A and B are shown apart, each in its own frame.
Chain A
């Protein structure tokens, strides 16, 4: 009975042309002309966020990935070659250091300045490509603007594009990649243009791989899952079959060629990326251990979340944008799935169907990342994947929101939603900037702390110096100063090699009380520096080797 109903629904449903050609498109047909400039408002919105990111700590921000990349760029510039001899050479890709070295060369900027002050503002550029992608998906300037606005209220996404690591470019390239994929899928008549779009897609796909091989692999894996989902649903309905046929044939080639690009990159273009094979092997082993070994101890990443914030409720409030988008997009996705797969209504466009498949693919990756994180192979894979997922998810929520026409309390609801945007924007930025009122992971430092680090670096040599409960001051020194002039190592956490020197700043003591962790400073350590706020202690040497 049900089958008959579905079949009749399929027959009755309006069927799209077998080879739909919805390009060239008149974006924003029937929309106000002023919405064409919606991106401008978004640029201003993100520029203000970037400005806040800088002035919140008076430009004294530092975090470990940005610090590592600062060192990587410096090594890259010093040695003038892709594969540097330094131990911290970046194994996953070369794009970020290459682009940064280029900028430094033509502008004469200091690497630290580029990383700390200039790069946060480049997040404005991400607005443009995101807006273009969402306009391509929705065919609407207005919808693209709303979706992009939602994307930039996602704290995880904001965090990765505000800081200065490869992710800034990897995410941008990913957005461009998706843009060319969507555009090329929409254009099927003009083969000359199609060829150019496809070429640009693969160029950007290589860009993603060259920026970060693992994220590139994750993107390719998502396309593989998309293809798999497409195949699973291929014969569901005649309408879907038509949408699927062209997409799936394209995705087969996309997968093969992207895999080929990743292979070329890993084995020929950038041999350090071979290290990623070891990482993948490790992931496999850890997952196997998680399920097969009785005594395997899963990684408690979620407990770490609790430790990273002053309280779990605060963490959830600050992450509210994530949960709202996650929940709403899931409902919409399920609803669309019901309509398209069960009720037999065909999707409006092939692109919408592709996005539906990709949502499923990235969601599946998210679920897998839970397992990988639990295995201990990574401790933040879920966090790394969520920004990519959110790019797809906001398109569902945003487009639904843009098309929603409430029957009652229209103004009140609009006002309420605008208020939600207001609050969520603030909460997300507070989370993305690790606001120290709520976060236990501090990413700021005082200039006089750096003065104390400088003093230590001038007065001790070849020392392992403890600086903080995490990498806060180590990252600050790496970004602002670079290598130690006297071969000192500034470490955080509880180092494997017990330190002989302890830099204890006022902020570290405040941090100690906040974390409820005592400073690991032996009582009889010698105080050798005190500027009123910051102190440096050395352990009394008991042997010549401890001097």
Chain B
């Protein structure tokens, strides 16, 4: 072994002293190599090439051991052998091989076997065999990467043949979870860990699609990514540059995912020459870095020759709508898809992430995003995507945006960028609908998220899953409350097609049907949105500074009401709920159309400039100085009510529709309903309760209906309702507790299932526990529980056996017991014992 290494080292030293050869270009090699490399046919079976600089190294020497006899007089460039030769790559000043490629041909199939350092000694061990060809001994002679191709590495037109099958056996990264999950388990052991298949269907030298199968040493039922597929439907994939003699070999890549949108991609087989390690199998077809590509990352394995149900990112597609878009996508459409049985047993489940940029020109070297819709649904994919080798049950690429916009979604969120940049190759991440409510993606990705943020993500994920599994019927609305600075988030809890609308109030695109929203202005100030009348459009804007309410703007069909701590302004003007409604853009035409409408209605308000927003609407205006307006709520078709605290010296300016001028300072409850104003002095909250239920039977579940009403004129914002049951024996137990709000003049209906544990008269006591701990006792009610039918031993016996078997059962019972007793009787017969002894 040592002698062989010495031999190889001596060859290397001899090689670096060789004279420089002529330079000219051949069809088989790229210009770059010949510009910096010189070579010579040194022996009948050997070419030596020296490159200065090397390939991501200072200097590099390559020894090509050809199995075919070489012409010593002919130019070395025309005799480079990629079919029956061994190429040994040496780094500068280092007599150690850092890569060995063995090219061979069997019939029409060409094979390249790539050997790297497997035992971490910084070299690829080999010996010179008797036929003067190096024989690799590294890792028992097992290649780390093997590539097979039909006929030639090049097509007849000179382009690279992107119809190859590659297998990797060892610690080489080629899937999204390789490094994180199983790279440390990968060994060059003769078992394929990754198979990559690349196809160029039209023979233009550009790869059109590829698929990868991972075979890590894990159970096939483990949740790693089994298969990935990358597709370029436009068949315009750029070809790699910086290849190194062999067109599939490169160096310098930092990941297997192609990162650059505007640079030529690296070749698929990447080696770190300094470490003598093959480290990445780079995408031949970009998953993300092309604006018209799509990919699939599936945990379910795709089986060749079959039509497959795939899951997880199935698909993740990119679309370019802007005519000025450069090489960047304007829409990133990610479908996290779980076919029926994967998540919910009866339905397919998916989260759709629909990120798009509405500005025409991308400002950076990564896509910048303006909006993101996240949709939770149970829609099956429509159609199939067929490749010659396999099929996928997925909506075809061209139909996918339309599939999203035409379907209904169970709940949805919208995130809008209100400042700064949002650069990402995958779209926006915040406020997902199935993968947890991330409020600050950069914190989650960098690992700097606080424990509270992490807990919120895991809690919200659980809540989302419980909804999808049918465990609860309550959407996870409570988790969509916070978002990072410069983002605005809105959440819709109801089912329906997803639409956006431009509000005439703030001229921003909002999510139709959203019940709540928040814009984090600068981590201190925020705008909260609410749809109080439930018509699907926001009608309340609240500006908070460090969690304290500063001002608000409330919209009713005919009034716009501004309020801050010392002023209330009512403008009488009709307000449309939206300037326009639209589906999210699913095509270039829709994208351009939306852009035009947004441009036509564009007006940049400061986040908290509610007065300016109010001033857009012309009409009679009542301004009340020295007053605080609070608890605004819509009532009826076009009415509303609010609390009004008039301070000493308050003044009115404008028409006094409600007759406020006659009032003395104090607290009032103002109602406007069906064109009539009404003002009453505030009365404290007065809560009543009515309990009702059907008949109660011992141990039978019964439903108790609870009707709460606040007849006062003061809201109870947060109070805890408790229902206690006192048994006929006098024992009290709590059977229901709920924290709720009880607005003035409104009902709140609840129900609870309960099964009495004894018969007789039960007394139910209702009470409200206030936030300060005081308890407000409500009415009591007595219900009579009927006794259950008797169940004695006879019933149990009757139900546990067929009647005609009773005699046999009794006989058997006595039979074995009697037999046991007789056996014992006979065995302890002392006379018999003594007789036997004698």
Which residues from chain A sit less than 8 Å from chain B, CB to CB?
30-32, 35, 38, 41-42, 44-45, 48-49, 51-52, 55-58, 85, 142, 145-146, 149, 152-153, 401-402, 405, 410, 414-415, 417-419, 421-423, 425-426, 429, 436-437, 442, 444, 446, 461-463, 487, 497-498, 500, 506-507, 510, 512-514, 516-524, 541-547
B119 → chain A, closest Cβ, in Å?
27
Interface pick from B102-110, B342-350, B520-528: B342-350
CB <8 Å contact, A437 and B827: no
- A547 to B473 Cα, complex, angstroms: 11
What would 20 more interface pairs be, CB under 8 Å, given A142-B827, A523-B703, A523-B753?
A41-B823, A45-B823, A55-B812, A145-B827, A418-B822, A425-B820, A436-B797, A442-B800, A507-B799, A510-B791, A514-B791, A519-B701, A520-B701, A523-B701, A543-B410, A543-B470, A545-B349, A545-B410, A545-B469, A546-B470
Cβ contacts under 8 Å, A543 to chain B: 410, 467, 470, 473
Q: Which of B347, B495, B701, B835 has the most CB of A within 10 A?
A: B701
Chain B residues near A85 (CB-CB < 8 A): 221
B829: A residues at CB distance < 8 A? 414
Residue in B700, B753, B802, B823 whose CB lies within 8 Å of A42: B823
Q: What B residues does A425 contact at CB under 8 A?
A: 816-817, 820-821
Given that A142-B827, A405-B830, A418-B822 are known contacts, is A518 also in contact with B700, CB under 8 Å in the complex? yes
B793 within 8 A of A: yes
Given contacts A418-B824, A436-B800, A520-B701, contact A429 B813 (CB under 8 A): yes
Min CB gap A85→B, angstroms: 7
Q: Which of B699, B703, B820 contacts A513 (CB 8 A)?
A: B699
Rounded to whole Å, the gap between the CB of B497 and the closest CB of chain A is 15
Asked if A518 and B699 make an inter-chain contact with CB atoms under 8 angstroms apart, the answer reads yes
- Complex interface residues of chain B between 567 and 602 (CB less than 8 A to chain A): none
21 contacts between A and B (CB under 8 A): A45-B819, A56-B809, A58-B805, A146-B824, A152-B820, A153-B820, A414-B825, A414-B828, A415-B825, A418-B822, A437-B793, A462-B341, A507-B799, A510-B791, A513-B699, A514-B791, A516-B699, A516-B757, A519-B701, A544-B495, A547-B470
Assembly CA distance A55 to B802 (angstroms): 9
A513 touches B788 (CB 8 A): yes
* In the complex, chain A residues whose CB is within 8 Å of the CB of B365: none
Cβ A51 vs Cβ B812 within 8 A: yes
The minimal Cβ–Cβ distance linking A236 to chain B, given in whole angstroms, is: 34
Which residues of A lie under 8 Å from residue B217 when comparing CB positions?
Answer: none
List 7 tightest A-B contacts by C-beta distance, closest first. Answer: A462-B345, A518-B755, A542-B473, A48-B816, A523-B703, A546-B470, A422-B821
Pair B796/A437 contact, Cβ less than 8 Å = yes
In this complex, what residue of A is CB-closest to B349?
A545
A529 to chain B, nearest CB (A): 18
Chain B residue with Cβ nearest A496: B471
Query: Looking at the complex, which one of B341, B467, B703, B788 makes contact with A487 (CB distance below 8 Å)?
Result: B341
What residues of chain A lie closer than 8 Å to B809, measured between beta carbons?
Answer: 52, 55-56
Residues of B within 8 A of A437 (CB): 793, 796-797
Which residues of the other chain, A, contact B14 by a CB distance below 8 angstroms?
none
The 8 Å CB contact of B799, one of A415, A506, A545, is A506
Chain B residues within 8 Å of A518, by CB? 699-701, 755, 757
- Cβ contacts B120-137/A at 8 Å (1 or 0 each): 000000000000000000
Contact status B702-A523, CB under 8 Å: yes
A32-B836, A521-B701 known; A49-B796 Cβ under 8 A = no
Q: Is A510 a contact partner of B812 (Cβ separation < 8 A)?
A: no
Q: How far is the CA of A405 from the CA of B821 in the complex (A)?
A: 18
| Interface flags, B357-398, vs A, CB<8A=1, else 0 | 000000000000000000000100000000000000000000
B821 and A418 within 8 A (CB):
yes
- Given the interface pairs A461-B346, A512-B699, A547-B346, the reply to whether A418 lies near B836 with Cβ below 8 Å is no
Bound-complex Cα distance A402 to B832 (A): 13
Residue in chain B with minimal CB distance to A498: B471
Interface residues of B in 319-367 (CB under 8 A from A): 341, 344-347, 349
Q: Is the CB of B473 within 8 A of A546?
A: yes
A145 touches B823 (CB 8 A): yes
Query: In the docked arrangement, what's the CA distance between A149 and B467, Å?
Result: 59
Across-interface contacts of A520 in B (CB, < 8 A): 701
B817 near A422 (CB under 8 angstroms)? yes
Does chain A have a CB within 8 A of B157?
Answer: no
Which residues of B, 465-482, contact A by the 8 Å Cβ criterion?
Answer: 467-471, 473
By the criterion of a CB under 8 Å from any partner CB, how many residues of chain B are at the interface? 60
Cα distance A41–B826 in the bound complex, in angstroms: 11
A402-B828, A421-B824 given; A426·B701 CB < 8 A: no
Report how far A544 CA is from B379 CA in the complex, Å: 11
Q: Which residues of chain B have C-beta atoms less than 8 A from A152's C-beta?
A: 820
B661 contacts the other chain (CB 8 A) = no
User: How far is it, in angstroms, between the C-alpha of A149 and the C-alpha of B827 when the chains are bound?
Assistant: 11
Does B815 reach chain A (CB closer than 8 Å)?
Answer: yes
Q: A48 and B694: CB pair below 8 A?
A: no
Name B residues whose Cβ lies closer than 8 Å to a Cβ of A: 221, 341, 344-347, 349, 378, 410, 467-471, 473, 495, 694, 699-703, 753, 755, 757, 788, 791, 793, 795-797, 799-802, 805, 808-809, 812-813, 815-825, 827-830, 832-833, 835-837
Closest chain-A Cβ to B434's Cβ sits at a distance in Å of 12
- In the complex, how many angstroms separate the beta carbon of B400 from the nearest chain A beta carbon? 22
Give Cα distance in the complex from A108 to B368, angstroms. 68
Q: Which residues of B contact A519 (CB under 8 A)?
A: 699-701, 755
Chain B, Cβ-Cβ closest to A515: B699
A544–B376 alpha-carbon span in the complex (Å)? 12
Q: Which residues from B are CB-within-8-Å of A35?
A: 827
Which chain B residue shows the least CB distance to A430? B813
A residues less than 8 Å from B344 (CB atoms): 462, 545
Give Cα A32–Cα B791 distance, bound, in whole angstroms.
54
Tell me the complex Cα distance, A253–B257, Å. 60
Measured in the bound complex, the distance between the Cα atoms of B788 and A513 in whole Å is 8
B823 CB contacts on chain A under 8 angstroms: 38, 41-42, 45, 145, 149
Q: For residue A544, which residues in chain B have a CB less than 8 angstroms away from its CB?
A: 347, 378, 410, 495
For the complex formed, measure the closest distance between the CB of A279 and the CB atoms of chain B, giving whole angstroms.
20
Beyond A35-B827, A417-B828, A542-B473, whether A52 also contacts B221 by CB under 8 A is no
- CB-based contact B469/A497 at 8 Å: yes
Pairwise interchain contact B816-A429, C-beta atoms closer than 8 A: yes
A417: B residues at CB distance < 8 A: 824, 828
Q: How far is the CB of A154 from chain B (nearest CB, A)?
A: 12
CA of A516 to CA of B788, assembled, Å: 11
- With beta carbons under 8 angstroms apart, the residue of B341, B410, B467, B816 that contacts A49 is B816
Distance in angstroms between the alpha carbons of A545 and B800 in the assembled complex: 39
Most central of A31, A145, A414 by chain B CB within 10 Å: A414
Query: A510–B812 Cα gap in the complex (Å)?
Result: 27
Chain A residue numbers with a CB within 8 Å of B699 are 512-513, 516-519
- Give the residues in chain B near A142, CB-CB below 8 Å: 827, 833
- The chain B residue with its CB closest to the CB of A414 is B828
B-chain residues with CB within 8 Å of residue A52 when the two chains form the complex: 809, 812-813, 816
A448 to B299, CA, bound (A): 43
* Most B CB within 10 A of own CB, among A85, A523, A541, A547: A523
Distance between B787 CB and nearest chain A CB, rounded to angstroms: 11
> Which chain A residues border B347 with CB–CB below 8 Å?
544-545, 547
CB-based contact B816/A45 at 8 Å: yes
Question: How far is the CB of B592 from the nearest CB of chain A, in Å?
Answer: 35
The minimal Cβ–Cβ distance linking A209 to chain B, given in whole angstroms, is 25
Within the complex, what minimum Cβ distance (angstroms) separates A79 from chain B? 13
Please, which residues of chain B bring their CB within 8 A of the CB of A446?
799
* CB-based contact A510/B821 at 8 Å: no
Asked if A57 contacts B800 (CB within 8 A), the reply is yes
Q: Of A414, A436, A463, A522, which one neighbours B701 at CB under 8 angstroms?
A: A522
A422 near B701: Cβ-Cβ < 8 Å: no
CB distance from B788 to the nearest CB of A (A): 6
- A142–B805 Cα distance when bound, in Å, is 36
Most buried by A among B349, B802, B823, B824: B824
- Please give the distance in Å from B570's CB to the nearest CB on chain A: 40
